Structure 1
Amino acid sequence: MRKQILAIALLALSVTWYGCSSDGAKQRSEETPTDPVEATNQQEVHGDMITEVKLTTPLDQAMVKQGQEIYDVKCGSCHKLDETRIVGPGWKGITQRREPAWIMNMITNVDMMLANDAEAQKLLEQCLVRMPNQNITEPEARSVLEFMRQNDGVK
């Protein structure tokens, strides 16, 4: 029993020694960036400015389903489907208040919208948090728009 305790203690000491040594630190620094900006930096996808969106009636249910899946993964933590504002504004009624192209540009071109659009700038002032670029493509944004339309009661 005493030999087992000694062996475990030596193993723990060896692991600690290696972890604190310059070789261990060098290996860890090569594996993970220490600069927080570099650690969170990812290639952002930006679309071209969208000027026209063709809406369909009835709703495309495949797009609605994909839009809900995107909402569940990328949007739902900041936006609720009712009027409730969490981080960003609630989505209820958004398709009646905003043009489809505006909504899609806000989803795919956040930086451009915040730099150039007065309404987007007002939203930033109200919410106090910049909407992050979620790297959503134009076809994905169209699906999110279709899900928003269903949420607003379009059939």
Structure 2
Amino acid sequence: MKLLKTIALATLTFALFSCGGDKQTDSVTTESSDATVETDGDMEAAAAKYDPNRGLGKHADIDVSKFDPAMAAAGKGLAEVKCTSCHKTTDERLVGPGWLGVTKRQTPAWIMNFISNPDPMIDVDPELQKQLELCLVRMPNQGLNDTEAREVLEYMRSIDGAK
């Protein structure tokens, strides 16, 4: 019985920390201005700067005219470590929504802004707030840098049939 309790505690601890990201930033800088919107500051200012096609963040024009299989493979590796405990590559919801079709529903800039710094977007995007009501768990910031975010985007594109 003691062994069972230890295993259950270890599993719970792993589950709590496996999705957690390193929340190093509390702000996001938009490319269109030098102003910084504090995520725990003026939400009205963040909402006013929110572009539903781009999201909030520095990523604006992402060239997806060519598919990069090497980046997609790197993105798959990242996703296996940081994403697949909450997301499936089908349209089925696990903890968060499935990824199938996401690159057809959202722009590359929106995806990269969201996966690299989800908190500001969750706070102002009505569709993300609806997802939060369904999933009941905020997407944690996984601390992806620009290259990693692009690699995950390429992996998502491969799921949707990009070649």
Query: Normalising by the residue count of structure 1, what TM-score does the alignment of the two structures yield?
Result: 0.68
Distance 1:41 1:56, change over 3 A: closer
- Aligned with 2:24 (options 44, 56, 62): 44
Gaps of 5+ in 1: 1-39
Distance 1:41 1:103, change over 3 A: closer
Cα distance between partner residues in 1 of 2:21 and 2:152: 25
Cα distance between partner residues in 2 of 1:41 and 1:154: 28
Aligned to 1:55: 64
Q: Is the 8 A contact 1:64 1:146 kept in 2?
A: yes
Aligned to 2:103: 95
User: Partner amino acid for 1:44?
Assistant: Q
Cα distance between partner residues in 2 of 1:68 and 1:41: 18
Q: Count how many residue pairs are aligned between Structure 1 and Structure 2.
A: 115
How far is 1:67 from its partner?
0.4
- Aligned with 1:75 (options 70, 83, 99): 83
How far is 1:142 from its partner?
0.6
Query: Normalising by the residue count of structure 2, what TM-score does the alignment of the two structures yield?
Result: 0.65
1:149 paired to 2:157:
yes
Cα distance between partner residues in 2 of 1:142 and 1:41: 18
Q: Is the 8 A contact 1:47 1:138 kept in 2?
A: no
1:136 paired to 2:116:
no
Aligned to 1:3: none
Q: Name the one with the larger helix percent.
A: 1
Cα distance between partner residues in 1 of 2:94 and 2:72: 23
Q: Is the 8 A contact 2:75 2:153 kept in 1?
A: yes
User: Partner amino acid for 1:101?
Assistant: A
Cα distance between partner residues in 2 of 1:109 and 1:47: 8
How far is 1:135 from its partner?
0.6
Percentage of identical aligned residues: 48
How far is 1:118 from its partner?
1.8
Distance 1:42 1:72, change over 3 A: closer
Q: CA RMSD for the aligned pairs?
A: 1.9
Distance 1:90 1:41, change over 3 A: closer
Cα distance between partner residues in 2 of 1:122 and 1:51: 24
How far is 1:47 from its partner?
6.0
Distance 1:56 1:116, change over 3 A: same
